Amino acid sequence: MADVEVVLAPWAEATFGVWSAAETPPDLEKRLPVIRVERIGGADERFSLHPRVAVDVFAATADQARTLANSVRDALLLLRGPVNGAVIRDIRCDSGPSRQPWANEAVHRRGATYTVSLRGA
């Protein structure tokens, strides 16, 4: 079965040209902007997965975080077909990009949640 983090993080990096992974790097402040793609739940069936995914955008300014988070949302909602060893059937935005707290005030974070329907390629 496809791992949604392994499918979407490289897609986000290639699409937006920013560092993307399932975890924030230890030197986050030096790599901004960053997109984090993390599975937070969802259902697995025999031939398909329906993971719930948190997509967080970290940036140096609130405007930069908002703009990138909205661009990620728009692109995800249109994403269908073969992607990095999986076939994406549908992506639903469960909670749109919103401001999220982060311990370092110099880092601005916007987070959204999505449900991704996919199967292995």
Compute the residue count for the chain: 121
Collect all residues with Cβ–Cβ distance below 8 Å to 52 and sequence separation of at least 6: 39, 40, 41, 42, 94, 113, 114, 115
Q: Which residues contact 8 (CB under 8 A, 6 or more apart)?
A: 37, 53, 55, 76, 83, 84, 116
pLDDT value of position 119: 92
Q: What is the mean pLDDT of residues 83-109?
A: 96
Model confidence at 68: pLDDT above 80: yes
Q: What is the CATH number of the domain that holds 44?
A: 3.30.2000.30
Which has the closest alpha carbon to 105: 65, 69, 60, 63? 60
Residue 47 has what pLDDT? 85
Question: For 35-64, what is each residue's pLDDT tens digit?
Answer: 999 999 998 888 889 999 999 999 999 999
Tokens of 3: 């791992």
Instruction: Quote the pLDDT of residue 121.
Output: 79
pLDDT at 1: 65
Residue 1, helix vs strand vs coil? coil
18-28 mean pLDDT? 96
Identify the domain containing residue 47 by its residue range.
Answer: 4-120
Domain count, the chain: 1
Mean pLDDT (the chain, rounded): 96
Query: pLDDT at residue 15 above 90?
Result: yes
Q: Tokens 């919103």 appear where?
A: 98
Alpha carbon separation from 32 to 21, 89, 111 (Å, rounded): 13, 31, 15
